[in-house]
Protein backbone atom coordinates (compact mmCIF):
# COMPACT_ATOMS: atom_id res chain seq x y z
CA UNK A 1 0.00 0.00 0.00
CA UNK A 2 1.37 3.41 -0.94
CA UNK A 3 1.18 5.95 1.84
CA UNK A 4 0.30 9.63 1.34
CA UNK A 5 3.30 11.60 0.15
CA UNK A 6 5.14 8.60 -1.27
CA UNK A 7 6.69 9.17 -4.69
CA UNK A 8 5.54 6.73 -7.33
CA UNK A 9 8.32 4.85 -9.07
CA UNK A 10 7.50 3.87 -12.63
CA UNK A 11 8.17 0.31 -13.77
CA UNK A 12 11.44 0.49 -15.64
CA UNK A 13 14.85 -0.95 -14.91
CA UNK A 14 17.22 -2.93 -12.77
CA UNK A 15 20.71 -1.78 -11.84
CA UNK A 16 23.56 -3.98 -10.62
CA UNK A 17 24.90 -2.53 -7.38
CA UNK A 18 28.57 -1.56 -7.62
CA UNK A 19 31.21 -1.29 -4.86
CA UNK A 20 30.87 2.13 -3.23
CA UNK A 21 27.19 2.57 -4.14
CA UNK A 22 24.89 3.66 -1.33
CA UNK A 23 21.13 3.97 -1.20
CA UNK A 24 21.58 7.73 -0.83
CA UNK A 25 23.77 8.06 -3.93
CA UNK A 26 21.48 5.82 -5.97
CA UNK A 27 18.35 7.66 -4.85
CA UNK A 28 19.86 10.92 -6.13
CA UNK A 29 21.08 9.28 -9.31
CA UNK A 30 17.69 7.85 -10.21
CA UNK A 31 15.52 10.66 -8.88
CA UNK A 32 13.72 8.76 -6.14
CA UNK A 33 13.98 8.40 -2.35
CA UNK A 34 15.94 6.07 -0.10
CA UNK A 35 12.63 4.91 1.38
CA UNK A 36 11.25 3.98 -2.05
CA UNK A 37 14.37 2.03 -3.01
CA UNK A 38 14.19 0.12 0.27
CA UNK A 39 10.46 -0.61 -0.13
CA UNK A 40 10.70 -1.66 -3.77
CA UNK A 41 13.57 -4.03 -3.11
CA UNK A 42 12.51 -5.46 0.25
CA UNK A 43 15.54 -3.92 2.02
CA UNK A 44 15.06 -3.60 5.78
CA UNK A 45 18.36 -1.87 6.48
CA UNK A 46 20.65 0.28 4.29
CA UNK A 47 23.52 -1.96 5.38
CA UNK A 48 21.79 -4.95 3.76
CA UNK A 49 22.55 -3.72 0.22
CA UNK A 50 25.39 -5.71 -1.36
CA UNK A 51 27.42 -5.15 -4.53
CA UNK A 52 26.59 -7.41 -7.46
CA UNK A 53 22.90 -7.62 -6.53
CA UNK A 54 20.29 -6.25 -9.01
CA UNK A 55 18.38 -3.29 -7.58
CA UNK A 56 15.02 -2.12 -8.94
CA UNK A 57 15.21 1.53 -10.00
CA UNK A 58 13.15 4.02 -12.08
CA UNK A 59 13.38 3.81 -15.84
CA UNK A 60 15.55 6.88 -16.38
CA UNK A 61 18.61 8.23 -14.61
CA UNK A 62 18.70 11.86 -13.52
CA UNK A 63 19.87 14.46 -16.06
CA UNK A 64 23.27 14.83 -14.41
CA UNK A 65 24.02 11.12 -14.21
CA UNK A 66 25.88 9.22 -16.93
CA UNK A 67 24.09 6.31 -18.54
CA UNK A 68 25.09 2.95 -17.14
CA UNK A 69 25.57 -0.06 -19.44
CA UNK A 70 24.34 -2.26 -16.60
CA UNK A 71 20.78 -0.97 -16.75
CA UNK A 72 18.40 -3.37 -18.52
CA UNK A 73 14.64 -3.27 -19.02
CA UNK A 74 12.83 -4.83 -16.09
CA UNK A 75 10.35 -3.38 -13.61
CA UNK A 76 9.84 -1.52 -10.38
CA UNK A 77 6.87 -0.86 -8.15
CA UNK A 78 5.98 0.17 -4.64
CA UNK A 79 4.87 -2.20 -1.88
CA UNK A 80 1.41 -3.63 -2.27
CA UNK A 81 -1.06 -4.33 0.48
CA UNK A 82 -2.44 -7.56 1.89
CA UNK A 83 -5.91 -8.66 0.91
CA UNK A 84 -8.57 -6.87 2.92
CA UNK A 85 -12.30 -6.81 2.41
CA UNK A 86 -13.60 -3.45 1.25
CA UNK A 87 -15.74 -1.56 3.75
CA UNK A 88 -18.28 -0.91 1.03
CA UNK A 89 -20.40 -4.09 0.68
CA UNK A 90 -21.37 -3.08 -2.82
CA UNK A 91 -17.73 -2.96 -3.92
CA UNK A 92 -16.69 -6.14 -2.11
CA UNK A 93 -19.35 -8.23 -3.84
CA UNK A 94 -18.60 -7.23 -7.42
CA UNK A 95 -18.41 -10.42 -9.49
CA UNK A 96 -16.09 -10.69 -12.43
CA UNK A 97 -17.00 -11.94 -15.85
CA UNK A 98 -15.53 -15.33 -16.79
CA UNK A 99 -12.78 -15.42 -19.38
CA UNK A 100 -13.43 -17.31 -22.58
CA UNK A 101 -11.15 -18.09 -25.48
CA UNK A 102 -8.43 -15.73 -26.67
CA UNK A 103 -10.66 -14.84 -29.63
CA UNK A 104 -13.50 -13.88 -27.29
CA UNK A 105 -11.07 -11.94 -25.12
CA UNK A 106 -9.73 -10.07 -28.13
CA UNK A 107 -13.30 -9.15 -29.12
CA UNK A 108 -13.95 -7.88 -25.60
CA UNK A 109 -10.69 -5.92 -25.71
CA UNK A 110 -11.89 -4.16 -28.87
CA UNK A 111 -15.14 -3.16 -27.18
CA UNK A 112 -13.55 -2.15 -23.88
CA UNK A 113 -9.94 -1.20 -23.22
CA UNK A 114 -9.11 -4.41 -21.31
CA UNK A 115 -10.51 -7.85 -20.49
CA UNK A 116 -10.75 -9.12 -16.93
CA UNK A 117 -7.41 -10.66 -15.93
CA UNK A 118 -8.93 -13.38 -13.71
CA UNK A 119 -12.27 -14.88 -12.69
CA UNK A 120 -13.13 -13.91 -9.13
CA UNK A 121 -14.50 -11.18 -6.88
CA UNK A 122 -13.15 -7.69 -6.32
CA UNK A 123 -12.57 -7.54 -2.55
CA UNK A 124 -10.52 -4.35 -2.38
CA UNK A 125 -10.95 -1.37 -4.67
CA UNK A 126 -8.73 1.39 -6.01
CA UNK A 127 -8.20 4.57 -3.99
CA UNK A 128 -8.07 5.52 -0.33
CA UNK A 129 -7.82 2.59 2.06
CA UNK A 130 -7.21 2.98 5.77
CA UNK A 131 -4.53 5.63 6.20
CA UNK A 132 -3.03 5.15 2.76
CA UNK A 133 -3.79 4.55 -0.87
CA UNK A 134 -4.41 1.37 -2.85
CA UNK A 135 -3.05 1.76 -6.38
CA UNK A 136 -4.97 -1.16 -7.87
CA UNK A 137 -7.71 -3.68 -7.15
CA UNK A 138 -7.49 -7.03 -5.37
CA UNK A 139 -9.42 -9.86 -7.03
CA UNK A 140 -10.04 -12.88 -4.83
CA UNK A 141 -9.80 -16.12 -6.80
CA UNK A 142 -9.01 -19.78 -6.28
CA UNK A 143 -5.39 -20.84 -5.91
CA UNK A 144 -3.95 -21.80 -9.29
CA UNK A 145 -6.67 -20.13 -11.37
CA UNK A 146 -5.37 -18.76 -14.68
CA UNK A 147 -4.29 -15.13 -14.84
CA UNK A 148 -4.62 -13.69 -18.34
CA UNK A 149 -3.21 -10.63 -20.11
CA UNK A 150 -5.72 -7.78 -19.99
CA UNK A 151 -4.72 -6.64 -23.50
CA UNK A 152 -2.15 -7.21 -26.23
CA UNK A 153 1.32 -6.15 -25.17
CA UNK A 154 4.91 -7.05 -24.33
CA UNK A 155 6.13 -8.48 -21.03
CA UNK A 156 8.33 -5.88 -19.35
CA UNK A 157 9.07 -7.86 -16.19
CA UNK A 158 8.34 -11.40 -14.95
CA UNK A 159 10.05 -12.44 -11.72
CA UNK A 160 9.70 -12.36 -7.95
CA UNK A 161 9.76 -8.86 -6.47
CA UNK A 162 9.55 -8.49 -2.69
CA UNK A 163 6.08 -7.76 -1.32
CA UNK A 164 4.56 -8.23 -4.76
CA UNK A 165 5.66 -11.87 -4.86
CA UNK A 166 5.70 -13.30 -8.36
CA UNK A 167 5.06 -10.22 -10.46
CA UNK A 168 4.34 -9.57 -14.14
CA UNK A 169 4.37 -6.17 -15.86
CA UNK A 170 3.01 -5.81 -19.40
CA UNK A 171 3.48 -2.72 -21.56
CA UNK A 172 0.59 -1.85 -23.88
CA UNK A 173 -0.17 0.85 -26.42
CA UNK A 174 -0.35 4.50 -25.32
CA UNK A 175 2.29 4.00 -22.61
CA UNK A 176 -0.02 1.95 -20.39
CA UNK A 177 1.42 -0.75 -18.12
CA UNK A 178 -0.63 -3.44 -16.37
CA UNK A 179 0.56 -5.09 -13.17
CA UNK A 180 -0.23 -8.65 -12.00
CA UNK A 181 1.05 -9.52 -8.50
CA UNK A 182 1.15 -12.36 -5.93
CA UNK A 183 1.07 -15.04 -8.64
CA UNK A 184 1.63 -18.66 -7.69
CA UNK A 185 3.71 -18.87 -10.85
CA UNK A 186 4.52 -16.79 -13.92
CA UNK A 187 4.21 -18.59 -17.26
CA UNK A 188 5.64 -15.85 -19.48
CA UNK A 189 9.11 -14.35 -19.71
CA UNK A 190 10.50 -10.85 -20.09
CA UNK A 191 10.37 -9.64 -23.69
CA UNK A 192 7.59 -12.04 -24.72
CA UNK A 193 4.65 -10.67 -26.72
CA UNK A 194 1.21 -11.63 -25.42
CA UNK A 195 -2.36 -11.37 -26.63
CA UNK A 196 -5.46 -10.33 -24.72
CA UNK A 197 -6.83 -13.34 -22.85
CA UNK A 198 -3.58 -15.32 -23.03
CA UNK A 199 -2.65 -17.12 -19.80
CA UNK A 200 0.40 -15.46 -18.24
CA UNK A 201 0.40 -16.96 -14.75
CA UNK A 202 -1.55 -18.64 -11.95
CA UNK A 203 -3.27 -17.06 -8.96
CA UNK A 204 -1.35 -17.39 -5.71
CA UNK A 205 -0.44 -15.69 -2.46
CA UNK A 206 3.28 -15.05 -2.87
CA UNK A 207 4.84 -11.95 -1.35
CA UNK A 208 2.85 -9.86 1.12
CA UNK A 209 -0.55 -11.56 0.86
CA UNK A 210 -2.82 -13.39 3.30
CA UNK A 211 -4.79 -15.42 0.78
CA UNK A 212 -4.91 -16.29 -2.93
CA UNK A 213 -5.77 -13.26 -5.05
CA UNK A 214 -4.57 -11.13 -7.94
CA UNK A 215 -3.42 -7.59 -7.25
CA UNK A 216 -4.05 -5.78 -10.55
CA UNK A 217 -2.91 -2.26 -11.44
CA UNK A 218 -3.16 -0.02 -14.50
CA UNK A 219 -0.51 2.70 -14.83
CA UNK A 220 0.01 5.47 -17.35
CA UNK A 221 3.42 7.03 -16.80
CA UNK A 222 3.80 7.65 -13.07
CA UNK A 223 0.04 7.76 -12.51
CA UNK A 224 -1.97 4.80 -11.25
CA UNK A 225 -5.45 4.68 -12.81
CA UNK A 226 -8.57 2.94 -11.55
CA UNK A 227 -8.56 -0.47 -13.30
CA UNK A 228 -12.37 -0.68 -13.13
CA UNK A 229 -12.59 2.21 -15.60
CA UNK A 230 -10.77 0.08 -18.16
CA UNK A 231 -12.67 -3.18 -17.60
CA UNK A 232 -16.08 -4.26 -18.88
CA UNK A 233 -18.93 -4.18 -16.33
Give residue 43's pLDDT.
Answer: 74
172-206, pLDDT tens digit by residue?
Answer: 988 888 999 999 999 999 889 999 999 999 999 99
Give residue 158's pLDDT.
Answer: 92
Burial class (CB in 10 A: 0-12, 13-18, 19+), 205: middle
Domains in the chain, CATH or no CATH each:
13-73 (3.10.350.10), 89-229 (2.70.70.10)
Give residue 5's pLDDT.
Answer: 32
102-155, pLDDT tens digit by residue?
Answer: 555 555 444 458 999 999 999 989 987 777 778 899 999 999 999 999 999 999
Q: What angle do CA 226, 192, 229 make, to 5 degrees?
A: 15
Q: How confident is the model at residue 78 (pLDDT cuts 50, 70, 90)?
A: very low
Q: How confident is the model at residue 32 (pLDDT cuts 50, 70, 90)?
A: confident
Amino acid sequence: MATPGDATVVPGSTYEVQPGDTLWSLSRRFGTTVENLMALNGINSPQAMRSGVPLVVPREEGPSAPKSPQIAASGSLQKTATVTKANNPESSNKSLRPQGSQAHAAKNAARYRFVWPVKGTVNSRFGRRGGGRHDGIDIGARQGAPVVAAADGKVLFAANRGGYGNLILIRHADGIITVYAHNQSNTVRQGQKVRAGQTIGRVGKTGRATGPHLHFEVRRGVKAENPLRHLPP
